[in-house]
Structure 1
Amino acid sequence: MSTAMQPETAARPDEPRNPPVAESRSLSTWLERHRSGLLGFAGIVVVLVIWQVSTGTGLADPSFSSNPLRIAKAEADLFRTGEIYPYLKASGLEMLWGLLIIIIAGIPIGLIRGRSRVLHDLTEPWVNILYSTPYVIVIPILIFWSGIGNTSRIVVIVWAGILPLVINVTTGVRNLDRDYIRVATVFCTPRLTFLRSVALPATLPYILAGVRLAIGRALVGAIVAELFLGNNGLGYYVQNSTTNSNIDGAMAGVVIIAVVALLLNWGVRLIERRFTHWAEAQ
């Protein structure tokens, strides 16, 4: 008895195999990769929805708390009329000069301080005192010394931001791998060459973490300085809007400050992922 063979159906070369499975895996991979960002975005949306519903149902008075829709309208008006641009420019220039001074001075100070035990012990009490002392308390002294101009505001920004960077870089240098130090010692590496070619690359994760902390504290310092010392800038705009009972405009200014902070931190995180991925693998 012969058994009939069932012919196998050949798959067409242009016919995709299991497309739903491939798409599902691709989607799950994308969701897993962006899980943190999506959850953060969802958290922001939930808070905004609760805020809007609270003002819409009368649980909160929008005259005192505003709401997301009114803030969005105020944001659009600020950028449409150009009213916010001078304040953004003033704060941006102060932050630019302050961060340049912080980075240019803070990294070398941290490297040298981390390599010299004598210098570290001599400066440790002063670093702790200056880091623990609120910089707001010296603002009256700065006004007495240099008035309420840009110089005083930049001094406050530098004071607020440079110490976290110095402390982080110092910690990174003091925790260097002993093998690096032994190899440099064997080859009689000059001190400056060691700092530039060994200590600086090895402490890059500490440096970028310090830069992130410095940016946050410097932005706070800039806003505080504008509240007390300025007649321009985002901090002054928020204070002036609150004084004039323009709560929507004040909250719009706060949102702009928050967005600037997020963008700055996002930029530093991108640099960390690009240049310090080797540290995560260790």
Structure 2
Amino acid sequence: MKKVKKGKFIQVPSWIWMCISLTAAMALWILIASSEAGGVIFAEPWEVAQKAVDKIRDGTLWGHVGISLFRVLTGFCIGFILSVPIAILMGWYAPFRKIVEPWIQFLRNIPPLAYIPLVITGAGVGEKAKIIVIFIASFLVMVVTIYQGVCNVDTTLIKAAMVLGAGSREIFFHVVIPASTPFILVGARLGVSASLTTLIAAELTGASKGLGMMIQKAQGYYDMSTVLLGIIIIGVIGLLMEKGIRFLERRLTGWQETTGAQ
């Protein structure tokens, strides 16, 4: 029987597809920016590039990037550290779940923006307020995702461990937590996204520096090249952080059979 050959596009290196994607995106950007309607919103790519060079030379860009990264990473890390044990306890212990889950489900339906007046009143307009807003957004996303992962642990694994004589402690630490690791990392990826999405809202609480503040200030002066520069930098930071978590995911969950591209 004659073997069916795979499509040739599968053999094309991934970096070529990336180049094609970037070229297409750049062409679309130029097309929109050169149009009468799109030119009002989108600056030309070279204008954005020149703005980046100018801000790097005068040293202002690194200040905005550094303080925004500090806020995002601090809020995300606090949210991650708290969400993992709470989500695991919710999934493993019924009394804890029945007390905590209704409040988690209630709070996650409230946009993080709604907490800003309360946060400002309680924590002022300093760094603490910004970190709290980012923490709330990332924590709620991660705790729900990880909790669902714990609930979806294969019961066959638990039953097999019980047959082999494992107690509740051994099942919890050697079955439930390892089986939940992929969901913990997926929750981390979603938490990073939520942190970056909330960054601009968090910097509404009286920030003098930061990418969100840079974007807001530039919008007031109708400096669209700076606005686009800030948006692109936030996107690049998010992409790099997600790539880092994906790397950890491949290293820590290499035993898991998956389908699809990584």
- Normalising by structure 2, we get a TM-score of 0.86
Asked if the contact 2:145/2:187 (under 8 Å) is kept, the reply is: yes
Stretch deviating more after TM superposition (251-260 or 74-83): 74-83
Q: Aligned AA for 1:278?
A: W
Counterparts of 2:144 and 2:38, CA distance in 1: 45
1:278 equivalent in alignment to 2:255: yes
Unaligned runs of 5+ in 2: 1-5
Asked if the contact 2:182/2:249 (under 8 Å) is kept, the reply is: yes
Counterparts of 1:116 and 1:40, CA distance in 2: 46
Give the structure with higher Rg (CA).
1
Show the counterpart of 2:33. 55
Which aligned pairs between 1:63-74 and structure 2 lie closer than 5 A? Answer: 64-74=41-51
Asked if the contact 2:120/2:205 (under 8 Å) is kept, the reply is: no
Asked if the contact 1:109/1:166 (under 8 Å) is kept, the reply is: yes
Show the counterpart of 1:101. 78
Q: SS where residue 194 of structure 2 aligns?
A: helix
Q: SS where residue 203 of structure 1 aligns?
A: helix
User: What is the CA distance between 1:216 and its match in structure 2?
Assistant: 0.2
Match for residue 250 of structure 1 among 210, 227, 235: 227
Match for residue 226 of structure 1 among 184, 203, 226: 203
Show the counterpart of 2:139. 162
Which aligned pairs between 1:6-155 and structure 2 lie closer than 5 A? Answer: 30-31=11-12, 34=14, 38-39=16-17, 41-56=19-34, 58-60=35-37, 62=39, 64-155=41-132
Q: SS where residue 231 of structure 1 aligns?
A: coil
Match for residue 181 of structure 1 among 153, 158, 167: 158
Question: Across the two proteins, how many residue pairs are aligned to each other?
Answer: 252
Asked if the contact 1:95/1:218 (under 8 Å) is kept, the reply is: yes
1:97-135 superposed Cα distances (whole Å, 9 cap, x missing partner): 112212211111111111012222222221111111011
Counterparts of 1:54 and 1:174, CA distance in 2: 47
User: What is the CA distance between 1:158 and its match in structure 2?
Assistant: 1.0
Counterparts of 1:92 and 1:61, CA distance in 2: 31
Q: SS where residue 209 of structure 2 aligns?
A: coil
Counterparts of 2:44 and 2:167, CA distance in 1: 61
Q: SS where residue 235 of structure 1 aligns?
A: helix
Counterparts of 2:243 and 2:74, CA distance in 1: 20
Q: Aligned AA for 1:55?
A: A
Unaligned runs of 5+ in 1: 1-24
- Relative to structure 1, is the Cα distance of residues 61 and 207 closer, same or farther in structure 2, using a 3 angstrom cutoff? closer
Show the counterpart of 1:196. 173
Match for residue 205 of structure 1 among 175, 182, 199: 182
